[in-house]
A and B are shown apart, each in its own frame.
Chain A
């Protein structure tokens, strides 16, 4: 399956076109000076994309989840969305659509000494999901993850503050710069920390901190899209080296960290399958 395709190229293309450009295509913001709030904003996408980005057309699923937690409502549609997408493709959106994943993949290409991420840090994303997306918003009614999200800082926080246009309705700047305080600085600090980490390790945000990745990870072992290691595998560890998540696929097939990128299928002993059994 997909053996003869240049998969990394198609993956970059998919991440750029669907993840980055189509989901951030509200160019009218240049004249309206306010974010899109039409009917499409009622739908979320299966990857991180800050709904406060000037060009965002859809909503971020994690932004929605904490919104519902903060307002103490039960997001039935959102839960259904997570279950159905997760059961069909698992974490494939992380590998094929997420623009933050694209940034990590590109920055890792910078030639320097590289480091492996300790395995126990993989549990960090579950802690962030439970604490910052669910429990803290539920108790304090504040969107904690959005206030700290490094991708939100990159595509929403920084652009809005740098641009800060005059709102045509109020004839005043959209962002009152005096309201920018410690949380904004902290958020930028977290972004800088991760940007530096991206150079030295493979996809650290996806593995350690992404709460959406934690949700999809739960479904990875039972999703329709899975991988199969043939009995002829000689554990040459080629899959481990090529994997953007540093997974030894030959040993741990369909790991919760697998982003279904298909890169490991360049080895003739690993193939993808799309079936229940």
Chain B
């Protein structure tokens, strides 16, 4: 993969990743949902 595409993928990916984290906390209440129970023994 050449440097140009690597740079583009990196910045686009990082922006999407950060937006998803913010959206998950603000909209999705993901953190509360993630409290799993030990039912998978």
Q: In the assembled complex, how far is the CB of residue B30 from the closest CB belonging to chain A, in whole angstroms?
A: 4
Q: Is the interface of A mostly helix, strand, loop or mixed?
A: helix
Q: In the assembled complex, how far is the CB of residue A117 from the closest CB belonging to chain B, in whole angstroms?
A: 26
User: Which residue of the partner chain, among B1, B6, B28, B34, contacts A41 with CB atoms under 8 Å?
Assistant: B34
Q: Which residue from chain B places its CB closest to the CB of A175 in the assembled complex?
A: B41
- Please report which residues of chain B, range 1-39, place their CB below 8 angstroms from some CB of chain A when the two chains form the complex: 1, 3, 6-7, 9-11, 13-14, 16-25, 27-28, 30-39
A77 with B30: CB separation less than 8 A: yes
B13 with A80: CB separation less than 8 A: no
**Cα–Cα, bound, A186→B25 (Å):** 37
A83 with B20: CB separation less than 8 A: yes
Q: In the assembled complex, how far is the CB of residue B34 from the closest CB belonging to chain A, in whole angstroms?
A: 5
User: Which residue of the partner chain, among B11, B19, B24, B32, contacts A78 with CB atoms under 8 Å?
Assistant: B24
Once A42-B35, A63-B36 are accepted as A-B contacts, the answer to whether A161 and B24 lie under 8 Å apart by CB is no
Q: In the assembled complex, how far is the CB of residue A174 from the closest CB belonging to chain B, in whole angstroms?
A: 9
Once A77-B20, A276-B7, A277-B7 are accepted as A-B contacts, the answer to whether A84 and B14 lie under 8 Å apart by CB is yes
Q: In the assembled complex, how far is the CB of residue B31 from the closest CB belonging to chain A, in whole angstroms?
A: 4
**Cα–Cα, bound, A156→B40 (Å):** 9
Q: In the assembled complex, how far is the CB of residue B9 from the closest CB belonging to chain A, in whole angstroms?
A: 5
**Cα–Cα, bound, A152→B36 (Å):** 14
Q: Which residue from chain B places its CB closest to the CB of A51 in the assembled complex?
A: B36
Once A41-B34, A80-B19 are accepted as A-B contacts, the answer to whether A277 and B9 lie under 8 Å apart by CB is no
A222 at the interface (CB under 8 A from B): yes
A222 with B1: CB separation less than 8 A: yes
- Please report which residues of chain A, range 60-96, place their CB below 8 angstroms from some CB of chain B when the two chains form the complex: 63-64, 67-68, 73-84, 87
User: Which residue of the partner chain, among A42, A143, A161, contacts B40 with CB atoms under 8 Å?
Assistant: A143
Measured CB to CB, the residues of A under 8 A from B are 34-35, 37, 41-44, 50-52, 59, 63-64, 67-68, 73-84, 87, 143, 146-147, 152, 156-157, 160-161, 175, 184, 219, 221-222, 224, 276-277
Q: A50-B40, A51-B38, A83-B13 are in contact. List 9 more A-B contacts (CB 8 A).
A: A37-B35, A63-B40, A73-B28, A80-B17, A82-B17, A83-B16, A87-B14, A156-B41, A160-B38
Q: Which 6 A-B pairs have the closest CB atoms?
A: A77-B24, A80-B20, A83-B17, A80-B21, A146-B40, A52-B38
